């Protein structure tokens, strides 16, 4: 079986499936997956966990000066999101106006283009979030 760059990227669970970990000792959930629980520091008691993608905005900011490769998307919004299952993650907010975004607003994950390498190069996909009204 041939391997390709896109196939390799799809095998990274946190990039395409919102998959993290749950500590079986302290019941904490976190994303992206870690080798050691950041709360209780115990090794070997971690279990993979898939997240629904539903959650609430904890905090957000507007990005005016983006990093290289994201210039065409500016300005855009990034938010810390508390997922329903307990993990807190960072994600871009899309498909809304600035006045729709607020702390505590309900969101859900959507699968979108993240970045293009160049006009004829690789297109990177992943999750972003939109407001649920």
Share of the chain above pLDDT 90, in %: 32
Mean pLDDT across the chain: 83
Cα(94)–Cα(103) distance, integer angstroms: 15
**Distances 101 to 10, 15, 53, 73, 95 between C-alpha atoms, Å:** 30, 24, 17, 17, 11
Task: Provide mean pLDDT across the span 4-26.
Answer: 69
The pLDDT value recorded for residue 2 is: 47
| Nearest CA-CA partner of 32 in 46, 21, 43, 44 | 21
What tens digit of pLDDT does each residue of 59-80 get?
999 999 988 877 778 899 999 9
More confident residue, 127 or 131: 131
pTM recorded for the entire structure? 0.79
């Amino acid at each position: 079986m041939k391997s390709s760059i896109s196939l390799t990227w799809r095998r990274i669970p946190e990039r395409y499936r919102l998959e993290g970990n749950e500590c079986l000792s302290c019941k904490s959930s976190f994303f992206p997956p870690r080798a050691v629980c950041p709360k209780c520091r115990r090794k070997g008691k971690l279990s993979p966990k898939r997240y629904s993608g539903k959650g609430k905005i904890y905090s957000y900011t507007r990005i005016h000066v983006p990093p290289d490769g994201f210039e065409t998307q500016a300005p855009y919004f990034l938010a810390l999101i508390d997922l329903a299952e307990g993990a807190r993650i960072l994600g871009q907010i899309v498909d809304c106006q600035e006045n729709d975004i607020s702390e505590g607003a309900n969101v859900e994950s959507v699968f979108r283009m993240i970045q293009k390498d160049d006009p004829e190069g690789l297109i990177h996909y992943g999750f972003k979030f939109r407001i649920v009204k």
